Amino acid sequence: MSQFRIDTCEHLLLPGKPADYLDTAVLDADNRALLGERQVMLQILRDETPLPTSAAREGYFDERHVEYWLSGLRDMRKVVAATGLDGVEAPRILDFGGASGRVIRHFRAWKPDAELYLTDINPQHVRLVQHIFGRAVTGLHNYGLPVLPFPDNYLDCVVAFSVFTHIDADDVAWLMQLRRIVKPGGHIYITIHDQATWRILPNTILAELSFSNDNFRTYHAANPDLRGRAVHTYNDATDYDCNVFLGADHIDRIWAPLFKESSIVPLAHDHQTAVTFKV
């Protein structure tokens, strides 16, 4: 069947600037604290880059548009603190699975000379990032195969928020691919569902979906200490998705030996734990 499409992103953007949404709700305490910082308020007021609509960011933060902005700044700061990126004059950074640019927009504001990349499996996100940021962020479409178009030892840091939480297969292959493209001494910063997530799961946004599955509910009740790797796959005829939960034993045996150093901060990002690997 013949098809024709005009790529446009205007309908995926909120009108105006981030400062126009300062009256939208901010529910998280850390984000409210950020909003109270004078420097952060000045950053919001100076930011001319439009925000994606709630639909364009897959519903994250609903209509809490300024909280979407704040959450990206919060997460960027945690990456910098964990990796020492502030000591690199013009870092090369990849946001792997970076969606609509929630985090990368703040790396751009933090160090204007940084060389920034964003990849995502959703081509709409890539088009949107190219439209929003232009040449300041290179948007690249990646696929399910663990291959990325970067030379060896090229990047200072890769970040991946809420990506390895959904990789059912090839997680090790993806980690090896990320290790290949990061310089010796550089870092990979990812978030996962681990034992800390498992413990608080009934009180998270994952609860309704997870515990609606009888097998999951039974297993969780019988195994308060998560070991190995547990995968909850949920899909319909047109969509596929999963949540992956990793015990500390899996990280220690399978992931950590791939790198020189590793560190874990439980629940560093809401219900997700941060893992930092040094290459």
Of 69, 72, 67, 78, nearest to 29 by C-alpha is 67
Confidence of residue 6 (pLDDT cuts 50, 70, 90): confident
Residue 243 belongs to some domain of the structure? yes
Q: What pLDDT sits at residue 120?
A: 96
How many distinct structural domains can be found in the chain?
A: 1
Q: What pLDDT sits at residue 129?
A: 96
Domain span holding position 261 = 143-278
Q: Is the model's pLDDT at 39 over the cut of 80?
A: yes
Of 132, 102, 135, 138, nearest to 119 by C-alpha is 138
Residue 20 belongs to some domain of the structure? no
Residue 76 β-bridge partners: none
Q: Is the model's pLDDT at 238 over the cut of 80?
A: no
> Tokens 């209509």 correspond to what residue?
63
Residue 84 belongs to some domain of the structure? no
Residue 215 belongs to some domain of the structure? yes
Q: Pick the residue with more confidence: 244 or 144?
A: 244
Task: Give this prediction's pTM.
Answer: 0.95
Residue 39 belongs to some domain of the structure? no
pLDDT digits (tens, 9 = 90+) for 55-74: 999 899 999 999 999 999 99
Mean pLDDT of the chain: 95
Residue 4 Cα distances to 1, 125, 220, angstroms: 10, 20, 48
Residue 115 belongs to some domain of the structure? no
